[in-house]
Structure 1
Amino acid sequence: MAEVNTDKNKDDGKKGKQKKMTVRVDFTPMVDMNMLLITFFMLCTSLSKPQTMEISMPSKDQVTEAEQTKVKASKAITLLLGEDNKIYYYFGEPDYEHVESLKQTDYSPTGLRDILLARNFDVVQKMKELKLKKLDKEISEDEFKKQASEIKGSKDAPVVLIKATDDASYRNLVDALDEMQICNIGKYAIVDITDGDKFLVDNLKSGGELTKQIARSNPKK
């Protein structure tokens, strides 16, 4: 409520003298109104639920160095997470003699994602068809999960090995795992980087000088 106070003095009797008025607004009732509005919105508004991502990761002891070599070369992808948001990768088994066997990319949509989508093309197409069936209510949620698991785990699906160097950040690992979900990669594992992988990275950075040094120190007879 507003209250108007008029100040009176001995000069009020003079003609032409304006009266001084003080306006005071009482905001006390607004406090009750604000509390009612807050209570109303708390009761009528649903709180946002935390967004989580399910990650199906095999245990570390399931992927050994010996088992890695058994993976079909045409389907294996090894990612080496490096410094400054760089990713080094190679297909199949490592090639220590040819520096161009190790390639470099980044986490942009035209980087790692394009590579994974190209290698996982058949699975991605089948997953799109399966999602359409789910949207059209041709299959149930349980049936969708079952078929999706079978598609991602098929023998033709690629296997991705994720290895982080000492220069990689935790964010890099999270971004790599995100790309596994986006690209429908069903078979992937986080494993320790080997000395051979470190050699590949160092050799690429040096432009193949390490390979040349080894060749000079071990000349063929």
Structure 2
Amino acid sequence: MENLPKKVRSKKLNTRVDLTAMVSVSFLLIIFFMVTIELAKPKVIDLSLPDNDVTCGGWHGYGENRSITILLGENNKLISYMGILESPISPAREMKYGKEGIRRELLKRNKSEIEYYNSLGRSKRGAIVIIKPSKKCSFKNLVDILDEMKIAKIETYAIVNEYTPEESKLLAAN
């Protein structure tokens, strides 16, 4: 019995998992999701809308000398006039979007209104802009005109969805 072979026991190795690659992948995923969440946040413009009971008819007699109406139609059509359409201060005319179009007009009108009220010794009062997008107007055009309000530093503007028959005819005309 002495010559019996001894049982050979296998040597147990330390089982160790290397987590370095897992940590690297985890950090990459965290960074990826943080960046995509930040990019997915909507970019917004401050917009204050009037109460539902305020109508466009309530604006007559108040500030029509300062008011500029902008009609937005389909196919990037933009028509602007100052005052009331029946007796405008400046006649209705089609304009283009951008620096050489509506922006120049808004900057000029706003500057002249501020200068006029400063000459009277009153507080700084700029132009009032009434934006009237049609149902066929693209959302991009509405956002573009809101950007123009910000660029031209127009402090008082409103988005109104009521059209007079004359304004509808004006938009329908080519």
Identify whether the pair has TM-score above 0.5, normalized to the shorter chain.
yes
What amino acid is the match of 1:184?
K
Shift of 1:161: 0.9
What amino acid is the match of 2:133?
A
1:108 to 98, 112, 122: 98
Aligned to 1:40: 27
What amino acid is the match of 2:45?
M
Shift of 1:199: 2.7
2:45 to 34, 42, 53: 53
Aligned to 1:91: 82
Aligned to 1:6: none
Describe the SS at the equivalent of 2:169. Answer: helix
1:38-97 deviation per Cα after TM superposition (whole angstroms, max 9, x unaligned): 4334369964363332222323432431x2222323310001101211100100011379
Q: Which structure 1 residue ranges, 4+ long, deviate > 6 Å from structure 2? A: 122-125
Aligned to 1:182: 151
Query: How many residues of Structure 1 are paired with residues of Structure 2 in the alignment?
Result: 143
What amino acid is the match of 1:101?
P
Shift of 1:200: 3.1
- Over the residues paired in the alignment, what is the CA RMSD in angstroms? 3.4
1:150-204 deviation per Cα after TM superposition (whole angstroms, max 9, x unaligned): xxxx6722111111224312222222222222222221112211212123334x5
C-alpha contact (below 8 Å) 1:58/1:188 kept by paired residues: no
Aligned to 1:8: none
Q: What are structure 1's unaligned runs of at least 5 residues?
A: 1-28, 126-153, 206-221
C-alpha contact (below 8 Å) 1:89/1:103 kept by paired residues: yes
Shift of 1:121: 2.2
What amino acid is the match of 1:40?
F
Residues 113, 38 of structure 1: alpha-carbon distance in 2 compared, 3 angstrom cutoff: farther
Aligned to 1:216: none
C-alpha contact (below 8 Å) 2:72/2:137 kept by paired residues: yes
Cα distance in 1, alignment partners of residues 150 and 51 from structure 2: 18
Percent identity between matched residues is 31
Residues 86, 122 of structure 1: alpha-carbon distance in 2 compared, 3 angstrom cutoff: same
Aligned to 1:171: 140
2:129 to 152, 160, 166: 160
C-alpha contact (below 8 Å) 2:113/2:127 kept by paired residues: no
